[in-house]
Amino acid sequence: MENNITFTMIKPFAVETGNIGTILDVIIKHGFKIRAMKLTRMSKSQAEKFYAVHAERPFFADLVEFMSSGPIVAAILEKENAVNDYRELIGSTDPAKAAEGTIRKLYGVSVQKNAVHGSDSDENAQVESTFFFSTFERFLL
Ligand code: CMP
């Protein structure tokens, strides 16, 4: 499995509070190339499908409700070691526990409103990228 892409979403609260540009700037300045990107909104059923792995978790209904509550920015990012480097850049799921300078520390306000999603494996990066983007919308080198 190639390790040079990851998938991210800027979540509804971060979009709503005007942080699309600042978050993209951090991402680009850390060496990630944007290879696909769109402003879109998931329906409830799309959010349920995207987060199906969490279906049994107590927070699933709230997660689906929140992630379909408004527009998100979805993007494919390219960089060597993309999944791990991006997870380091975004920080812990809980912004309160995230390291200083990470995206979730800077722009997240709670575990749910934690600013961004990042793929947790190379395999999921592919699955999640395909969930949002057709081959015509990807510009991988
Ligand atoms: P994300 O990286 O998008 O992947 C799954 C999301 O579920 C996660 O970010 C959090 O926003 C959310 N999540 C994870 N754990 C909890 C929790 N304990 N309570 C509420 N939401 C959670």
Single pTM value for the model: 0.97
Ligand 1: centre distance to CA 51 (Å): 10
Please check the confidence at residue 1 and state whether its pLDDT lies above 90. no
Write out the catalytic residue numbers: 117
Tell me if 126 CB under 6 Å of ligand 1. Answer: no
Q: Which residues contact 11 (CB under 8 A, 6 or more apart)?
A: 66, 67, 72, 113, 114, 115, 116, 117
Q: Are the beta carbons of 16 and 113 closer than 8 angstroms?
A: no
- CA-nearest residue for atom 11, ligand 1, is 112
The pLDDT tens digits for 42-95 are 999 999 999 999 999 999 999 999 999 999 999 999 999 999 999 999 999 999
Structural domain spans, the chain: 2-133
Query: Ligand 1 pocket, 63 CB below 6 A?
Result: yes
The two tokens of residue 109 are 């306000």
User: What does the buried/exposed string (b/e) look like for 15-45 if buried means 16 or more CB atoms within 10 Å of the residue's CB?
Assistant: beeebbeebbebbeeeebbebbbeeeebeee
CATH of domain 2-133: 3.30.70.141
Other Cβ atoms within 10 Å of 11 Cβ, number: 25
Closest residue by Cα to atom 2, ligand 1, is 117
